[in-house]
């Protein structure tokens, strides 16, 4: 790989002149500029990103920290972030923490050493002090972090209410819920909204991680201890586990059990029967987070600290038709 000194030698100019051409800083004659550009092309020179970031105080990199890349929800978020970042000339470094605090800590340190311009965080550790202490601009996505860190999420409370109202409106009388980890404020809102709208019809509630096998165990426990004809799952992966558990017990969906999920990921269309779900505007959430972060990086104002997007029902075949 060519070095900046080799480019300078090829162009018959100083290293400082090559640096001014690359960074577009300072005066360079047109003759020298042309010679440098020709030398760069001939030698296929690629400037060291870290060196450029130290000089320009900008790396063109955005760090995206996700808790579990195997959950289909997060790749859809990542796609939106990447699309917006690329459009504005930034590249995204995706970091999958596997929900491990130590791994998340290591990624933060690595990203800071690379002089990333900003971070988008979807973390399971909202009290991580590193986020409050860093000088790097941060946007929280689908999570709420401590301190004055802007957040983008969907309206989980309205989504929970909508799920209960939908099940009741389609004939369910005894409702159950498998909620996600209660430590996440965005997940608690889904629980609270469903619980309030369900009222006395709510006969059982159980917590599960957002992994299929954990959700399968939660569903088995729920089926063994309670009788219900409508169930709200806090995400679509949990809903898929419920449908499988119901099938193993010869419980017909939706005739005997109506199921509604939350997220609106593509998985919902692939399972049998296709899943009725409360859809988050996943792409728009990632898109907004990326745009807000770039505004912060480039010095623009952000008016609201919390941006909450609306949700809606996607009706498929795990709930009954009205009438």
- Quick: pLDDT tens for 61-111: 999 999 999 999 999 999 999 999 999 999 999 999 998 888 988 898 888
Task: With respect to residue 66, please indicate whether it lies within any of the assigned structural domains.
Answer: yes
82 and 113 in a single domain? The answer is yes
- Domain hosting 180: range is 156-280
Task: With respect to residue 252, please indicate whether it lies within any of the assigned structural domains.
Answer: yes
pTM of the model: 0.81
204 and 263 in a single domain? The answer is yes
pLDDT class for 54, splitting at 50, 70, 90? very low
189 and 251 in a single domain? The answer is yes
* Domains in the chain, number: 3
252 and 173 in a single domain? The answer is yes
Task: Look at residue 83 in the predicted model and tell me its pLDDT.
Answer: 96
pLDDT-above-90 percentage for the chain: 62
pLDDT-above-70 percentage for the chain: 92
Which CATH number goes with the domain that contains 207? 3.40.50.2300
- Quick: pLDDT tens for 291-303: 999 998 888 776 6
Could you write out the DSSP letters of every residue in 278-290?
A: EE--HHHHHHHHH
Cβ partners under 8 Å of residue 72, min gap 6: 236, 237, 265, 266, 267
Rounded to whole angstroms, the Cα distance separating 130 from 115 reads 15
Task: With respect to residue 89, please indicate whether it lies within any of the assigned structural domains.
Answer: yes
pLDDT class for 114, splitting at 50, 70, 90? confident
Task: With respect to residue 228, please indicate whether it lies within any of the assigned structural domains.
Answer: yes
Q: Report whether 77 contacts 141 (CB < 8 A).
A: yes
Task: With respect to residue 39, please indicate whether it lies within any of the assigned structural domains.
Answer: yes
Q: Identify the CA nearest to 39 among candidates 1, 3, 8, 5.
A: 8
- Quick: pLDDT tens for 204-246: 999 999 999 999 999 999 999 999 999 999 999 999 999 999 9
Could you tell me which residue, 2 or 270, shows the higher pLDDT? 270
Task: With respect to residue 320, please indicate whether it lies within any of the assigned structural domains.
Answer: no
263 and 287 in a single domain? The answer is no
Task: With respect to residue 317, please indicate whether it lies within any of the assigned structural domains.
Answer: no
Task: With respect to residue 21, please indicate whether it lies within any of the assigned structural domains.
Answer: yes
Which CATH number goes with the domain that contains 28? 1.10.260.40
Task: Look at residue 132 in the predicted model and tell me its pLDDT.
Answer: 67
What is the pLDDT of the chain when averaged over all its residues? 89
């Amino acid at each position: 790989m060519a070095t900046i000194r080799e480019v300078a030698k090829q162009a018959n100019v100083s290293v400082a002149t090559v640096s001014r051409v690359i960074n577009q800083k300072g005066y360079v004659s047109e003759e020298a500029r042309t010679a440098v550009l020709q030398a760069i092309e001939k030698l296929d020179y690629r400037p060291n990103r870290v060196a450029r970031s130290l000089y320009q105080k900008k790396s063109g990199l955005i760090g995206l920290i996700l808790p579990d890349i195997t959950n289909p929800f997060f790749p859809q978020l990542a796609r939106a972030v990447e699309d917006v970042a690329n459009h504005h000339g930034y590249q995204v470094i995706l970091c999958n923490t596997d929900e491990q605090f130590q791994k998340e800590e290591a990624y933060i340190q690595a990203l800071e050493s690379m002089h990333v311009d900003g971070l988008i965080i979807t973390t399971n550790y909202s009290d991580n002090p590193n986020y409050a202490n860093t000088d790097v601009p941060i946007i929280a996505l689908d999570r709420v972090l401590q301190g004055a860190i802007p957040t983008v999420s969907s309206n989980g409370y309205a989504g929970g209410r909508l799920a209960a109202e939908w099940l009741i409106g389609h004939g369910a009388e005894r409702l159950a819920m498998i909620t996600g980890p209660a430590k996440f404020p965005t997940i608690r809102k889904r629980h609270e909204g469903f619980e309030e709208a369900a009222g006395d019809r709510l006969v059982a509630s159980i917590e599960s991680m957002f992994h299929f096998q954990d959700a399968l165990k939660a569903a088995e426990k729920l089926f063994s201890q309670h009788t219900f004809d409508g169930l709200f799952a806090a995400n679509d992966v949990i809903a898929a586990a419920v449908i499988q558990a119901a099938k193993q017990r010869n419980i017909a969906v939706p005739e005997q059990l109506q199921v509604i999920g939350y997220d609106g990921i593509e998985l919902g269309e692939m399972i049998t029967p296709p899943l009725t779900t409360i859809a988050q505007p996943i792409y728009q959430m990632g898109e907004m987070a990326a745009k807000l972060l770039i505004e912060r990086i480039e010095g623009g104002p952000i008016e609201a600290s919390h941006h909450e997007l609306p949700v809606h029902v996607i009706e498929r075949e795990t709930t009954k038709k009205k009438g």
